[in-house]
Amino acid sequence: MERTMQQEISRIFEERSRAEKQEKAERYRRLNRFVRPHQILFAGSSLMEQFPIYELLLDQQLPYTIYNRGIGGITTFELLENMDVCIYDLQPDYLYINIGTNDLNLPDYTEKGLIDRYRQILQGVQTHLPECRIFLLAYYPVNPAAAKGNPWAEEALKIRSNERINSANRAVQRLAEEMGAAFLDLNGGIRDENGCLKAEYTIEGMHMYGDGYVPVLEKLLPWLPGQKKD
């Protein structure tokens, strides 16, 4: 009986999550009618969706137009199904993407499968938007100790380990080289001495509060259009 109840709870949670992602995609679809083409686009999962990039840039009085089409919980499978609403419709000249961390928790996850799907995403962008410059962001580290007391995060981080993330990052970097994209590791300011996400920045071991994105932005700034690289 207990197992049946757990399965039902899991089913309800998955259905709710799927509905929320579909609703968010529809919200974006409607907004896309009003975007200015040839701007900057952020795309990916919750780690990109929660990046307060526009507000942080306003604080620094930097005049960029940036659209964020991140969707919490999305996988590479789901981004492939939503390429129009998340990327193509906006016709960006610059695309910064962080996608794949949710794949790491899939029961049938393989690194090869992740990279194959990521390659399809990049091929789609290069076909539909041949002038778009593409930047692949390294996956952020996690902090298992910060997940204690949060059953969902504890369970997720048993699988989404820093070892798995680091291996995936190396594979994504190789993919970037293969596809002529840039690979950006922006994690220097959010990684502690043990290679984990700094406890001061994380909500539950995986996601970050807004201030955690400040050191990420500092690393990103030289890679924004018109900025000088050190």
Average pLDDT over residues 105-114: 96
pLDDT of residue 27: 96
Evaluate if residue 167 carries a pLDDT over 90. yes
Give the residue among 206, 210, 208 at the shortest CA–CA distance from 145.
206
Evaluate if residue 9 carries a pLDDT over 70. no
More confident residue, 92 or 3: 92
Mean pLDDT, the chain, as a whole number?
93
Average pLDDT over residues 120-144: 98
140 Rama class: left (phi>0) / alpha (psi -120 to 50) / beta: beta
Helix (H/G/I), strand (E/B), else coil: 42: strand
Average pLDDT over residues 66-83: 96
- Rounded to an integer, what distance in angstroms lies between the CA atom of residue 114 and that of residue 5? 32
- Rounded to an integer, what distance in angstroms lies between the CA atom of residue 163 and that of residue 171? 13
Evaluate if residue 12 carries a pLDDT over 80. no
Sign of CA dihedral 72, 78, 81, 84: positive
Evaluate if residue 102 carries a pLDDT over 80. yes
Q: Where are the domains of the chain?
A: 2-223
Average pLDDT over residues 89-96: 98
- Rounded to an integer, what distance in angstroms lies between the CA atom of residue 16 and that of residue 76? 19
- Rounded to an integer, what distance in angstroms lies between the CA atom of residue 151 and that of residue 136? 31
- Rounded to an integer, what distance in angstroms lies between the CA atom of residue 70 and that of residue 73? 9
227: Cβ–Cβ under 8 A, 6 or more apart, which residues?
221
14: confidence class by pLDDT, cuts 50, 70, 90: confident
pLDDT of residue 11: 57
CATH topology of domain 2-223: Rossmann fold (3.40.50)
- Rounded to an integer, what distance in angstroms lies between the CA atom of residue 101 and that of residue 156? 11
**How many angstroms separate the Cα of 49 from the Cα of each of 73, 151, 154, 218?**
10, 23, 22, 18
Average pLDDT over residues 58-65: 87
